[in-house]
Amino acid sequence: MSSLLIAWQLKDKNVLIVGGGEVASQRVDSILPTGAHIALLAPSDGLNPRTRCLIDEHSDSITYYDRRFSGPDDLIGADMVLTALDDVDLSRDICNICRTAKIPVNAADIPDACDFYFGSQIRDGPLQIMISTNGNGPKMANIIKERLQKALSGLEGQAITKVGALRALLKIRAPGVGGAVSKRRMKWMSSLCNAWTLEELVLLDDAMMQKLLDVGWENDRIPTFEEVGGRRPEPDYGNPLVPQAIGFIAGALLAFYLLKLGRRKWRSLF
Amino acid sequence: MSSLLIAWQLKDKNVLIVGGGEVASQRVDSILPTGAHIALLAPSDGLNPRTRCLIDEHSDSITYYDRRFSGPDDLIGADMVLTALDDVDLSRDICNICRTAKIPVNAADIPDACDFYFGSQIRDGPLQIMISTNGNGPKMANIIKERLQKALSGLEGQAITKVGALRALLKIRAPGVGGAVSKRRMKWMSSLCNAWTLEELVLLDDAMMQKLLDVGWENDRIPTFEEVGGRRPEPDYGNPLVPQAIGFIAGALLAFYLLKLGRRKWRSLF
């Protein structure tokens, strides 16, 4: 059976992490970029140095409680619970309470108690890629992640940001959810993404976006990059002083050699 | 803000899909492989041909109700709700009821009402890869998906299956959750995945797995593929009759030519 891979929204939600070891620090890493508020429950003598460091550095996002899990009341207000404990029985107990309270829960290293699993991730701005082996091999997920990373050009995140900005402008110009306008918007955006390269999308600026909508959207066609005023940056050859100096020296050496050769030839002639 | 990408478990859970159009059919596609039971609510006159086809083909997984959404009672027992409706107000109403009942909900085309988003997916056996642009461009997710697909060798799914089987055997030999044994297992499996190629992992069979555990795990080292009896398949050159026939003809022609040449030489000698 496979999982349903989804992008869960946690902005302004409350996430409770029970435990303070290495896995807990990885959970904090996963949750911090989502904009959730984290409550971390662990006795300070069991805190991993990295977890302690994260708590100190992100005190605006993390509230730390220096104590053990004490019962169902600890879960009040939580929108998601992550346990990272060595105590398997306690972890299972917490999962059961969560299930009754309908709070999504993940228990590290106890797959059958989890509502959801984590996976390897690639992030590049608004782009997020998750690799899951459905619990068959976390290391394999990492190996595949590295392979996929090499296949990305590094421009994807920036291109998506520009496409998102253009899409927002288009929604202002042609508003409405669902129905014909929604379909036309989707089709036009899709054609643009197909027609333009990643490099061209990255170079989109405000003026070009306006022109794209004026010339393209209004006439239901996809203008080229050049048509909306797109200009590729001049190739950058770096500091010109070094090649200049090399050229100067080479020229001087050649002149010197020719002069010498010339003199000898003259000598041989006369 | 970015999402938390997770692999949600739906085996034997109840998923309610409200709507029967094209998006509803895509939702059914996403949910079917998870082993969930699907309830689909939509008047039959609004059913998309593909949705109708899926309902007919997967009657063991999908229960179809030929009617509109009628109120909170429709959500009783649901573990997840997906709306795929043109009626934005109704979609928002359903989302609100879900939120009160703490049922995770996704409303197609209304991002701010969703607990989670879908993304582009790659599947290969136990391997699942999700590409999310955090709502900035579904088409860009597709373009990146195609690029990533090309970077995969096609052996990843099979290799993960073999690694999962070996891991299960190792857990029987060295049981226990958490603590030192868990860490040693993880480290050994991880070293194996690093040392062996995908091709070698795919060729793992039962006997090799046993030998790997006997020789490798027990002595805390990683044997080579050959050491545990691994054999790469002979390269397959296809049917040998054709090259044989070509060889025969070439041989005959050469003999014929040499004989002729020989005769001429003899003649020229005598």
Amino acid letter at B107?
Answer: A
Contact yes or no for B200/B225 (Cβ under 8 A): yes
Give the closest-approach CA distance of B216 to chain A in angstroms: 18
Q: Which residue has the higher pLDDT, B20 or B245?
A: B20
What is the nearest CA distance from A258 to chain B, expressed in angstroms?
A: 55
Distances from the Cα of A35 to the Cαs of A58, A59, B114, in angstroms?
12, 13, 16
C-alpha distance from residue A266 to each of A31, A252, A253, A259, A260 (Å): 83, 21, 20, 10, 10
pLDDT for residue B269: 62
For an interface test with B, the pick among A91, A110, A130 (most B C-beta atoms closer than 10 Å) comes out as: A130
Which pLDDT does position B266 carry in this prediction?
A: 64
The yes-or-no verdict on residue B243 having pLDDT over 90 is no
Q: What is the pLDDT of residue A269?
A: 62
Order the strands of the A80-83 sheet from edge to edge. A62-65, A37-41, A14-18, A80-83, A105-107
> Which tokens is B38 given?
């699907």
Q: What percentage of residues in chain B have a pLDDT greater than 70?
A: 97
Over pLDDT 70: what percentage of chain A?
97
The pLDDT score that the predictor gives to residue A270 is: 59
Question: Which residue from B132, B151, B163 is facing A147, i.e. has the nearest CB?
Answer: B151
Q: Which is higher by pLDDT, B149 or B178?
A: B149
Q: How confident is the model at residue B147 (pLDDT cuts 50, 70, 90)?
A: very high
**Residues in A touching B11 (Cβ below 8 Å):** 1
| CA-wise closest residue to A19 among A77, A89, A80, A91 | A91
Read off the pLDDT band of B241 (50, 70, 90): confident
Q: What is the DSSP letter of A177?
A: S
**Mean predicted confidence (pLDDT) in B97-112:** 95
Examine the pLDDT at B68 and tell me if it is beyond 80.
yes
Which of the given ranges, A153-167, B224-238, B253-267, has the highest pLDDT on average? A153-167
Q: Among A128, A193, A204, which would you mutate to test the B interface (most chain B Cβ atoms within 10 Å of its Cβ)?
A: A128
Nearest to A40 by CA among A77, A11, A4, A83: A83
Catalytic residues of A, by residue number, are 109
- Residue B65, phi then psi, degrees to nearest 5: -115, 115
Residues (pLDDT < 70) of chain A are 236, 238, 265-270
Q: Is B253 exposed, middle or buried (0-12, 13-18, 19+ CB in 10 A)?
A: exposed
Is B246 a residue whose pLDDT tops 90? no
Whether B109 is catalytic: yes
The two structure tokens encoding residue A47: 């805190």
Q: How far is B233 from chain A (nearest CA, A)?
A: 23
Question: Is the ipTM here above 0.90?
Answer: no
A95: which 2 tokens? 């999962």
